[in-house]
Structure 1
């Protein structure tokens, strides 16, 4: 299989020669087949997220039509990563402040314990649970959900994230609505009164920022779980594939951080022009969209020397995987800590995977079938 569009590339065994050609030959250009502009090199990927002309959602459809008026739509509308403007910047500050205080060492210990529990259950290796369920359970536990509520929240968040892609079916949207309602119900008590953990940090961060509204805090608490889901699964899976291909595993934490650049779990994101946007003399009209190739920019030699080498000891790498500008994901340290803990436990257990996996048919997340 060869790529004809950057969306095809996400699931290729090796999309990076294709990305390298875009960086070298079409760093910012219109793709007629996609009907969108494509930002491929580091300069374009830096410029696009920081522009006030662009939005993370189509201006006429800030919430996907199929979930408007449902609990999933209410959560989606409040997520800091899905909104723009001065209110978003203020809310993002609250969310980032809370996540910066998350105890990543404790989270890693939980991830290790949950991984061992999953393996001790016996039977076939539960790859889906290890890649998706364990990280979601850890974040649920960080919010104070225990005694089975962490498992329930992890299962529900798997349904909620199905409403985010444009390809979501009506059945998936209905399931997402029910899941959002249930996760909010589980999390709501943690935002009342004095609490430890991630929800307590969120409340205290809101107090420090004089943020008065509870509903967006609850929505972004749901977002703590949903943003963990695909990105951490891809980071776990792609690190295991790198090890199977002979990567240096002496320092798993360093390897995970380099895999985030080298084989990004989130390969692209989108922006939508609310007003005209110009980059390097090329004009994007209002209403047009831009596909932002985070994974291609990670391998731009202008910002990362010898970009196609997997180098866990790389000094000061430029990593676009977790976004840029005001929409950069503040959960990067937590995701990296979870992935490193899970991979370490799997290696200790003597488990490995193929070096030639197939990849899930997703438009932006690169997650191998293990």
Structure 2
């Protein structure tokens, strides 16, 4: 049986996750050197526990990033930190993202999609631009960047995110440091403009002011986080929705509402973020076992999405599913606050492709997947 990490790149990871749910919903897996939380109850218990951290307590910032611009940004990201300050700043970030207008987000993403279709007509690289470039450029537009600056930010964030996985090489870390410095230059004026500016950055500063948060550097780091968190996750969501159409497991949607319903079900059924890790800082007792300080927990979000205890008939792709329970965006203190933006962007991209006459049969139904440990992103 493949490991939960190997399952991320399988044509269908469902059987691996179903076996985990049935046989080992919470157990230590020597092959991955970590406890594995697979079912909904275990995932909730781990993500809701104060005993675990999002980073190893002994290494809050990867050693190769320490002392660089990328390390400074990394150390201030709410997704990479814990504690009372993190919760205070997370509340500011959540409030700011809540100001993003979904209709405007869809309109921006649709416009960037049409530009990509025109620019790549008859050429290669279209789907890479649609999956990675369009989401990053859309968020850059929401942050108030103009066309050229937004395109540059989209390229830079691609370099920055490569420093985040544990597999990052020194070359990746050097490129990420340069990218972080440039992203701070691009986004800094929007933070400096304060609440009188426009878009997400103005919302971020306004929320910080209401929370009596005065430190600028963490605000700027999390503005970069707006871009970086869209990268692999939204690419996977767009790609996995297109794969569902290519396989014929979903009908080509005829309306914006049906497109959004399909995207939301793909979030659950073929999650773009399949797993995440937690690191025990104190003993965590669960299901008769004890996770000791220093141990890792691999939290298999995609398996929990398929837990029949929370989602009946979980292996079926049903866009009309009522009130699904979805773990893809996490839970607890580190739940991703960008779900609305991700769904809006993916809905717009897929909708524009359908409107342009996309023939799903021309896409690979059994694609290769990017060599990532936690994100499921098809190569189209």
TM-score, length basis structure 2:
0.96
Judge conservation of contact 2:96–2:207 (CA < 8 Å) in 1.
Answer: yes
Q: Please give the alpha-carbon distance, in whole angstroms, between the structure 2 residues aligned to 1:32 and 1:168.
A: 23
Partner of 1:157: 157
Report the 3-state secondary structure (helix = DSSP H, G, I; strand = E; otherwise coil) of the residue aligned with 1:272.
strand
Root-mean-square deviation (CA, aligned residues, Å) is 0.9
Report the 3-state secondary structure (helix = DSSP H, G, I; strand = E; otherwise coil) of the residue aligned with 1:320.
coil
**Aligned residue-pair number:** 368
How far residue 361 of structure 1 moved from its aligned partner, in angstroms, is 1.1
Partner of 1:142: 142
How far residue 212 of structure 1 moved from its aligned partner, in angstroms, is 1.4
Judge conservation of contact 2:2–2:16 (CA < 8 Å) in 1.
Answer: no
Q: Please give the alpha-carbon distance, in whole angstroms, between the structure 2 residues aligned to 1:300 and 1:350.
A: 36
Partner of 1:195: 197
Q: Of 231, 242, 256, which aligns to 1:240?
A: 242
Report the 3-state secondary structure (helix = DSSP H, G, I; strand = E; otherwise coil) of the residue aligned with 1:242.
helix
Q: Please give the alpha-carbon distance, in whole angstroms, between the structure 2 residues aligned to 1:184 and 1:255.
A: 36
Deviations 1:295-324 (A, max 9, x none): 000000000011011110111100000000
Deviations 1:121-141 (A, max 9, x none): 223251111100000000011
Judge conservation of contact 1:248–1:312 (CA < 8 Å) in 2.
Answer: no
Partner of 1:11: 9
Deviations 1:93-146 (A, max 9, x none): 000000011012111111111111111122325111110000000001111110
Q: Of 11, 31, 41, which aligns to 2:39?
A: 41
Matches within 5 A, 1:119-134: 119-121=117-119, 122-125=121-124, 126-134=126-134
How far residue 147 of structure 1 moved from its aligned partner, in angstroms, is 3.3
Q: Please give the alpha-carbon distance, in whole angstroms, between the structure 2 residues aligned to 1:123 and 1:89.
A: 48
Q: Please give the alpha-carbon distance, in whole angstroms, between the structure 2 residues aligned to 1:266 and 1:303.
A: 19
Report the 3-state secondary structure (helix = DSSP H, G, I; strand = E; otherwise coil) of the residue aligned with 1:315.
coil
Judge conservation of contact 2:252–2:354 (CA < 8 Å) in 1.
Answer: no
* 1:357 partnered with 2:357: no
Judge conservation of contact 1:75–1:219 (CA < 8 Å) in 2.
Answer: yes
* 1:221 partnered with 2:223: yes
In structure 1, the gaps of 5 or more residues are none
How far residue 354 of structure 1 moved from its aligned partner, in angstroms, is 1.6
How far residue 181 of structure 1 moved from its aligned partner, in angstroms, is 0.3
Partner of 2:210: 208
Matches within 5 A, 1:1-370: 3-121=1-119, 122-125=121-124, 126-193=126-193, 194-246=196-248, 247-250=250-253, 251-351=258-358, 352=360, 353-370=363-380
Deviations 1:188-207 (A, max 9, x none): 01012310100000001111
Judge conservation of contact 2:259–2:347 (CA < 8 Å) in 1.
Answer: yes
How far residue 248 of structure 1 moved from its aligned partner, in angstroms, is 2.8
Q: Please give the alpha-carbon distance, in whole angstroms, between the structure 2 residues aligned to 1:316 and 1:63.
A: 38
Q: Please give the alpha-carbon distance, in whole angstroms, between the structure 2 residues aligned to 1:316 and 1:103.
A: 23
Report the 3-state secondary structure (helix = DSSP H, G, I; strand = E; otherwise coil) of the residue aligned with 2:369.
coil
How far residue 172 of structure 1 moved from its aligned partner, in angstroms, is 0.6
In structure 2, the gaps of 5 or more residues are none
Judge conservation of contact 1:249–1:255 (CA < 8 Å) in 2.
Answer: no
Report the 3-state secondary structure (helix = DSSP H, G, I; strand = E; otherwise coil) of the residue aligned with 2:229.
helix
Report the 3-state secondary structure (helix = DSSP H, G, I; strand = E; otherwise coil) of the residue aligned with 1:278.
strand
Judge conservation of contact 1:275–1:285 (CA < 8 Å) in 2.
Answer: yes
Judge conservation of contact 1:76–1:219 (CA < 8 Å) in 2.
Answer: yes
